[in-house]
Chains A and B, each alone.
Chain A
Amino acid sequence: MRSLKVNGVERQFAPDAMPGTLSALLDALGVGPTTVVAEVDGRIVRREEFDRTELQDGQKVELIKLMGGG
């Protein structure tokens, strides 16, 4: 099995079902908002770069969005 830690939660994937890129991960999770930004192992990745950002087994991914706040 392969795994990614997404927003603090460990997720397991069969080797052939492991999302290859950040875009594929967002699709798999059904993440909608257009203002999502990511951190992969602490490195900030902009939405425009999601397509070409490859994911490796064991990486830590944070998906962050804008929401209401003062």
Chain B
Amino acid sequence: MDKLTIAGRTFDSRLLIGTGKFSSPRVMAEALAASGSQIVTVALRRVDIDNPADDTLREIDRDRYLLLPNTSGARDADEAVRLARLARAATGIDWVKLEVTPDPYYLLPCPVETLKAAEILVKEGFVVLPYINADPILAKRLQDVGTATVMPLGSPIGSNQGLKTRVALEIIIEQSVVPVVVDAGLGLPSHVAEAMEIGADAVLVNTAIATANDPIGMASAFKLAVEAGRKAYEAGPRAPQHKAEASSPLTGFLRES
């Protein structure tokens, strides 16, 4: 499998993992190891003053994984920029997964506020990876303002519905000059294999791994699916066609006189 490069940094793995919803820090650490991932997303929240020593991320080896803070919870550009600045101050990392989701029911990203926040953050030196709906025009606008990737959704966050946006994803992949990371809604290894087969540069998975009966086994299954899908893409799959095409040579001798 060829390597993934984002903002000049190279990664062997094309699977990004979200660290939410794991049952324990230990299970999370083992699932991350099984996934082979090198980029893991994290969120920012208030310290719980009633449980001030809580540190769910203590098991993450920061020499092994690049932490990618997200701006989850932000409902507009101002909140996202504030979270990104806090994340940079907390981690010393200037990479940010930009998420602006004003609607709590479907958690769909706002294109207007995302573009606005991306422009500000790029100017402030952030490496911006924006979470977006699968909108090819928006993807182009974001890449024009200097985002490091685009991260279009397959279906709503945590919904496990797979690539409902496939037609638009194919257009984004065809047109994008920055890596396309398909994010959100990828519920099964077959979903990520499909995303990789159509040419996505990487995928991000959280819920499907963290909430599986066996998160470590599922992390390993997703790793294999990403590799299988990428290898298939590199090998050049043929397009579907309506008519059958015989795989065995047609000899004709059975009915020749």
B-binding residues in A (CB < 8 A): 6-9, 29-37, 39, 44-47, 62-70
A64 touches B86 (CB 8 A): yes
A-binding residues in B (CB < 8 A): 18-22, 28, 41-47, 49, 52-58, 67, 69-70, 72, 85-87, 89-91, 157-158, 184, 204, 206-207
**Can you list 25 A-B contacts with CB-CB less than 8 angstroms, sorted by A residue number?**
A29-B49, A30-B52, A31-B52, A32-B52, A32-B54, A33-B55, A35-B55, A36-B47, A37-B89, A39-B86, A44-B86, A45-B89, A46-B90, A64-B44, A64-B90, A66-B43, A66-B69, A67-B42, A67-B45, A67-B56, A69-B18, A69-B19, A70-B41, A70-B72, A70-B207
Q: Which residues of B contact A37 (CB under 8 A)?
A: 86, 89-90
Q: Which residues of A contact B55 (CB under 8 A)?
A: 32-35, 65
Known contacts A32-B53, A68-B42; decide if A44 and B20 are in contact (CB<8 Å). no
B91 touches A69 (CB 8 A): no
- The docked-state distance in angstroms from the alpha carbon of A27 to that of B86 is 21
Known contacts A69-B18, A69-B41; decide if A36 and B46 are in contact (CB<8 Å). no
Min CB distance A41 to B, Å, is 14
Known contacts A68-B21, A68-B43, A69-B70; decide if A36 and B49 are in contact (CB<8 Å). no
Q: Which A-B residue pairs are the 7 nearest by beta carbons?
A: A69-B43, A70-B18, A32-B53, A70-B206, A37-B90, A33-B55, A68-B19
Residue of B nearest to A33 (CB): B55
Min CB distance B48 to A, Å, is 8
B46 touches A64 (CB 8 A): yes
Apart from A63-B47, A64-B46, A66-B91, list 6 A-B contacts with CB within 8 A: A8-B46, A62-B46, A67-B56, A69-B72, A70-B19, A70-B20
Residue of B nearest to A44 (CB): B89
Q: Which residues of B contact A45 (CB under 8 A)?
A: 89
- The docked-state distance in angstroms from the alpha carbon of A34 to that of B56 is 11
Residue of A nearest to B21 (CB): A68
B70 touches A65 (CB 8 A): no
- The docked-state distance in angstroms from the alpha carbon of A33 to that of B55 is 5
Q: Which residues of A contact B44 (CB under 8 A)?
A: 64-67
Min CB distance B136 to A, Å, is 23
Q: Which residues of B contact A47 (CB under 8 A)?
A: 90
Of the candidates B18, B22, B90, B207, the one having the most CB atoms from chain A within 10 angstroms of its own CB is B90
Known contacts A33-B54, A44-B86; decide if A65 and B49 are in contact (CB<8 Å). no
Residue of B nearest to A45 (CB): B89
A31 touches B91 (CB 8 A): no
Residue of B nearest to A39 (CB): B86
- The docked-state distance in angstroms from the alpha carbon of A3 to that of B19 is 36
Residue of A nearest to B55 (CB): A33
Q: Which residues of A contact B58 (CB under 8 A)?
A: 33
Residue of A nearest to B83 (CB): A64
- The docked-state distance in angstroms from the alpha carbon of A32 to that of B91 is 15
Of the candidates A29, A36, A63, A65, the one having the most CB atoms from chain B within 10 angstroms of its own CB is A65
